[in-house]
Amino acid sequence: MASGYKLLDPNHIDPQFGKASPGKIAMWIFLVTDAMSFSGFLIAYAILRSSKQWPVPAEHLGIALSGFATFLLVCSSVSMVLSIDACRLKKRQSMLNWLLVTIIGGVIFLGIQVYEYQHLVHIGISLSEFAQGNNLFASTFFMVTGFHGLHVLTGVIYLICEYKNAFEGKYDNGDYRNLEVLGLFWHFVDLVWILVFTFIYLL
């Protein structure tokens, strides 16, 4: 019976549970407004695609490679969760390792995106067509994926900064709030890419 009440013991309750820091609230506000931007891009893409003659994405885009990039980004979200959990449990080395895995996942994703851009330019879907606005497929593709890529780049820089803080011992006390804010941003980037991949690559 005593074990049934063990969870009610204040010593076993996370002191940060249910407490939103100013940074966390600010991140949520930013993510809501940012989600509106992505929604606008995807709605514009859907409208243009339905009203114009549109190429078959699978004929130009590397579905398999982008699918792997999607899987990689999902895995990096998992490693971000594991890093936060390790910080909460004061497992310093595990926290650093999982943060590093997350960073590597983001860097590889960006590398795949650059490779895909080079491939598209090679087959004639170029950045100049995007800039001049005479190819709606190129325009919308580069706009949406480029905007998302900028978010991934920002996230990787953010991750590197927090890795530096963690390496210097800032989170050795188990205070994971800053990492949790970072995690919100990284999960958002992951979720948005799943939508982008579905809308642009698969449909």
15-69 pLDDT per residue, tens: 555 566 777 888 889 899 989 999 998 898 888 888 767 777 777 787 888 889 9
Residue 128 CA, distance from chain mean position: 27
Residue spans of the domains in the chain: they are: 21-202
Q: Which of 158, 79, 143, 73 is nearest to 108 (CA)?
A: 73
Q: In this structure, are residues 113 and 69 in contact, taking their beta carbons and an 8 Å threshold?
A: yes
Domain 21-202: which topology?
Four Helix Bundle (Hemerythrin (Met), subunit A) (1.20.120)
Give the span between the Cα atoms of 120 and 139, in whole angstroms: 12
Dump pLDDT digits (tens) for 135-166.
777 778 888 899 999 999 999 999 999 999 99
Please give the average per-residue pLDDT across 75-84, as a whole number: 94
Q: How confident is the model at residue 8 (pLDDT cuts 50, 70, 90)?
A: very low
> What global pTM score does this model have?
0.81
- Residue whose entry in the numeric block shows the structure tokens 């100049």: 128
What letter would DSSP give residue 16? Answer: T
